[in-house]
Amino acid sequence: MKTDDGLPASASGHGHCDATEERLPTVRSSSRAPYSTLIIPLTSITDRLEPEELFSRPQPLEVELGSGDGTFIAQYAQRFPDRNFLAVERLLGRLRKIDRKGLRAGLANLRLVRIEASYLLDYLLPRESVHALHVYFPDPWPKRKHRKNRLVNARFTELAAQALRPGGTVYLRTDDQDYFAQMTAVFAANSEFLLAESPADLAGIITDFEKDFREKGFATLRSAYQRR
């Protein structure tokens, strides 16, 4: 699926969409310039990003695919200033919320990009450039005829292996039992990955969707897979 401006549409928490969203301008800011925004404007959707030009310091890169309102990524980036973080989200309104949070907190280690998640993995992230991928509460597409639209599928595991450094980890969360079964099955079937553990300090940071689901009595289902 593509947005009205031709950008591939991202899988973000349970797929909410606002057709009245404004569109990002396609102009590039100069590398390492002072930031009045953390949002990375894209002039091309074919040229790979260069992480060393996006951040002021070269540090391990972690990427959240579908960042919602940034509840998780803003806390995580603040807790770990020795890592760089890229938040990926399609809806501009959500991206601007994360931008405001990041700027208020002075998060020099956080950048934001508006693009579809699997497209970013396939075409924009340099190969073996990422230390961790975070995929929390993507749209479950519960109807059987729509499940082909799910972000985490067999192809996703291949893209994750391509983007991750050896030893890098994919962290997954969902409230949907059927989707969780699919997530674990496709990663178990990919010989590039081993089952891993989610660190306690990571599991303790909840997302906006996770907070809502907990209040409604839904359990969080978690899994993690490390690239060999």
Closest CA to 173 of 156, 193, 198, 148: 198
Q: Say what the alpha-carbon torsion angle 183, 147, 112, 157 is, to the nearest 10 degrees.
A: 40
Q: Is residue 208 a contact partner of residue 68, using CB atoms and an 8 Å limit?
A: yes
**Does the annotation count 208 as an active-site position?**
no
Q: Can you state the angle between helices 154-163 and 177-188, rounded to 10 degrees?
A: 60
139, 175, 176, 208: the active-site residue = 139
Rounded Cα distance, 188 and 142, in Å? 22
Distance (Å, rounded) from C-alpha 18 to C-alpha 126?
30
Please, are residues 227 and 167 in contact by the beta-carbon 8 Å criterion?
yes
Tell me the β-bridge partners of 172. 135, 223
Nearest to 49 by CA among 59, 60, 41, 38: 41
> What is the total residue count of the chain?
228
Which residue numbers are catalytic? 139
